[in-house]
Amino acid sequence: MRKRSGTSQILRTVRIGAGCAFLAFAGCEPDGDPHTILQVLRGSSEFTTLLSAVEIAGLTGTLESDGSFTLLAPDNAAFDKLDAAERDALFADPVTLRNRLQYHLLDGRETEAEFRDQSVLIAVQDGAIEVSVEEDGTITLDGAQILKANEDTANGIVHTIDTLLEP
């Protein structure tokens, strides 16, 4: 077994460190295993409100399961569009909150490109989400714009949207 010099070990550490940083950005843990949808939400400051809602609604198990899902993930600004009374009432009622969040969840992996070929998406709670492709190519889902598309995870795909959808 050949002993490494201190310099080559440092270079190796830097190289591995940069690789882990890249993998974390791509939705992977440092060992290369992709994050679940729930881990992506936990790892991003833009989803703190959604994460709280998911926990209150009892959907954490679903978003960390081995299933295959597409999450239309409203960012914090989407929740901020609700007036305070509406938001408080929604978060105080776990059943209503769960139903509302399940309207953002699709069964199976759906990429943004696949949305272009559909006029309606069916949510896991059987709601129909209207897909519109604007002249400039922008896709809206029940009027919500996709801010960031196709974040791949171990159990699905996350698309960040700018509006909380309503069934």
Q: What is the pLDDT of residues 113-125, one digit of tens each?
A: 999 999 999 999 8
Q: Domain span at residue 146? A: 35-161
Q: Does the residue 156 lie in any domain?
A: yes
At residue 34 the predicted structure's pLDDT band, cuts being 50, 70 and 90, is low
CA distance 116 to 37: 23
Residue 79 lies in a domain: yes
Q: What is the mean pLDDT of residues 74-90?
A: 97
What are the structure tokens assigned to 28, written together?
């992977």
The pLDDT tens digits of the residues spanning 90-113 come to 999 999 999 999 999 999 999 999
Q: Give Rg (Cα) of the chain.
A: 19
CA gap 18, 21 in Å, rounded: 5
CATH at residue 116 = 2.30.180.10
60 residue type, one letter? T
Number of H helices, E strands in the chain: 8, 7
Would residue 66 count as lying in a domain? yes
Question: Is 146 contained in some domain?
Answer: yes
Burial annotation 30-44 (CB, 10 A radius, 16+ → b, else e) = eeeebbbbbbbbbeb
CA distance 12 to 47: 34
The 3-state secondary structure of 13-34, one letter per residue: HHHHHHHHHHHHHCCECCCCCE
Instruction: Using a cut of 0.75, tell me whether the model's pTM lies above it.
Output: yes
- The DSSP 8-state label assigned to residue 1 in this structure reads -
Report, as an integer, the average pLDDT of 25-47.
Answer: 75
The domain total for the chain is 1
Give me 132's structure tokens. 């519109």
Q: 3-state class of 159 per DSSP?
A: strand
Q: Which of 110, 146, 106, 108 is nearest to 128 (CA)?
A: 106
Q: pLDDT class for 126, splitting at 50, 70, 90?
A: confident
Q: Would you say residue 145 has pLDDT above 80?
A: yes
